[in-house]
Amino acid sequence: MQIDLTGKTALVTGSTEGIGYAIARQLAKAGADVVINGRSEEKTAKAGERLKGEGAQGTVTAIAADLATAEGCAALVAKLARVDILVNNAGIFQPSDFFDTPDEVWDRHWQVNVMSAVRLSRAYLPSMEKANWGRVIFIASESGFNIPVEMIHYGVSKTADIAVARGLAKRMAGTGVTVNSVLPGPTLSEGVESMLANEREKTGKSIEEVAADFVKQHRSSSLIRRAASVDEIANIVTYLASPLASATTGASMRVDGGLIDTL
């Protein structure tokens, strides 16, 4: 199977590190012109430079914009009028018990995890429809199905992502535009590494061991019994972004290590 994205422009939101950066790297290796995004100018520019040195075949552009607000999303769209592939990856996760979680935390998860994707899809889907080709991929989570008790607000935002993706796939019916969501399980990104940093220090174990302990303890239905790597997530996203995935739309694709226990 050969994936060739030459001539396609791909925007990956929140791609200075973690899953987003891995997706950007794979799309770039497959020939896409890739747009990297993060909040700080410096970090975003650095990630763009790094990507150029890691086998990018097409162009690499870095656009800093904070997607937590409507203004930030509009600023990004003002700098980038159209894309062929939109990967709504930017997301935050903050463990916090329901009774200790104020409105602001709910609202921030909603704005970053859901509304950034809504706003960018609204901006970019019309030109994809006109071109009769496009790919929109929402990086949701297994937590959208298995609501995590330690961050209900996060799980709810990811359920919303899955629902928006399904709705948009219906809205784009009959066009060459597909819309899907991808549901990673626990994945060793920089964000998860910093979430596990205390445990790592306490136990002296490697980050992979600490992540596997977390999976066994808090996501005990996992069949792979370890965290995924960021590349394992990027693989499926790259396939979905490609012309090869033309009959897959409206799907919620699991890369969850088998932890969602339904058929």
- The catalytic residues are 154
Which range binds ligand NAD by CB under 6 A, 37-45, 119-127, 197-205, 246-254?
37-45
Q: What residues between 142 and 201 interact with ligand NAD by CB under 6 A? A: 184, 186-187, 189-192
18 binds ligand NAD (CB under 6 A): yes
214 binds ligand NAD (CB under 6 A): no
Instruction: Rank residues 38 and 134 by Cβ distance to ligand NAD and give the closer one.
Output: 38
Q: What residues between 66 and 125 interact with ligand NAD by CB under 6 A? A: 66-68, 89-93, 112
String of DSSP letters for the chain: -----TT-EEEESS-SSHHHHHHHHHHHHTT-EEEEEESSHHHHHHHHHHHHTTT--S-EEEEE--TTSHHHHHHHHHH----SEEEE---------GGG--HHHHHHHIIIIIIHHHHHHHHHHHHHHHHT-EEEEEE--GGGTS--TT-HHHHHHHHHHHHHHHHHHHHTTTSSEEEEEEEE-SB--HHHHHHTHHHHHHH---HHHHHHHHHHHHSTT-SS-SPBPHHHHHHHHHHHHSGGGTT--S-EEEESTT-S---
- Residue with the closest Cβ to ligand NAD? 91
Instruction: Rank residues 4 and 54 by Cβ distance to ligand NAD and give the closer one.
Output: 54
- Write the interaction track for ligand NAD spanning residues 224-263; mark x where CB under 6 A is met and - where it is not: ----------------------------------------
**One residue of 12, 20, 215, 238 binding ligand NAD per CB under 6 A:** 20
Instruction: Rank residues 48 and 184 by Cβ distance to ligand NAD and give the closer one.
Output: 184
Task: Write out the residues near ligand NAD by the rule CB under 6 A.
Answer: 14-20, 37-39, 66-68, 89-93, 112, 139, 141, 184, 186-187, 189-192
